[in-house]
Chains A and B, each alone.
Chain A
């Protein structure tokens, strides 16, 4: 069966510090992968998606970036965090039926 992992589960970072969030998927190959941010009252915001290794599409211009170094690994990064980067970050992949399945999420607080 397919499983999606995210870590860390919780993160508290100072403004201006770097960020690296990791997502890995097990039990499937060549999945489409997605990064979302969920902020209170704002719903789910698609940040990046990837259809393959090294292929990243950005949905929202910001100080975040994403990379896909391996087929089942998706990384969200920032060089300098802003207060507005706080939120719940979700990784997702597409499975059967053909829709998106979410990981457990990372709660990021920027102070």
Chain B
């Protein structure tokens, strides 16, 4: 079993839809969870950062962590064509110097 599983997509939605992106993981020691957005031919940019379980909201984006199920989600409300990108989940067990474990990314396509 891979440490982090993420559906590669592509996930195609119409503009305005609610998007749900997910990752599952196997290492119960993970407690820091991140979502990165990567546009084509660009470096990943940090979108959301959460610690332990719970929800975090930032504008149209909501990150949700369920440690009991080893499952994290990113919700995008009112999706826009500019949200079309690959979304990478990442997680680590420790803060400070940390080796992140990444999912392979989900490609999202939002059509106008």
Residues of chain A having any CB pair with chain B under 8 Å: 6, 32, 41-44, 46, 49, 51, 88, 90, 94, 97-105, 107
Quick check: B95 and A102 within 8 Å, CB to CB? no
Residues of A within 8 A of B41 (CB): 88, 105, 107
* A102-B49 in contact given A43-B103, A44-B88, A46-B99 (Cβ < 8 Å): no
State whether B43 touches A104 (Cβ < 8 A).
Answer: yes
Contact check, A43 vs B43: say whether CB atoms are below 8 A apart: no
In the bound complex, CA of A104 to CA of B32 (Å): 24
Q: 1/0 contact trace for B44-80 toward A, CB 8 Å?
A: 1110010000000000000000000000000000000
A residues near B97, Cβ cutoff 8 Å: 32, 49, 51, 94
| Interface residue range, chain B | 20 to 34
Residues of chain A within 8 A (CB-CB) of B32 are 98-99
In chain A, what residue has the closest Cβ to B45?
Answer: A102
Q: Determine the distance from Cα of A44 to Cα of B32 in the docked complex, in whole angstroms.
A: 18
A43 / chain B contacts, CB cutoff of 8 Å: 88, 102-105
A51–B98 Cα gap in the complex (Å)? 11
12 A-B residue pairs with Cβ-Cβ distance under 8 Å, sorted by A, are A32-B97, A43-B104, A44-B44, A44-B102, A49-B97, A51-B97, A88-B41, A97-B49, A98-B95, A99-B34, A103-B43, A104-B43
Question: In the bound complex, do residue B46 and residue A99 qualify as a contact, i.e. CB atoms below 8 Å apart?
Answer: yes
Residues from chain B with Cβ under 8 Å of A32 in the complex: 97
Q: Across the interface, do B98 and A98 meet the contact criterion of CB distance under 8 Å?
A: yes
Distance in angstroms from A31 CB to nearest chain B CB is 10
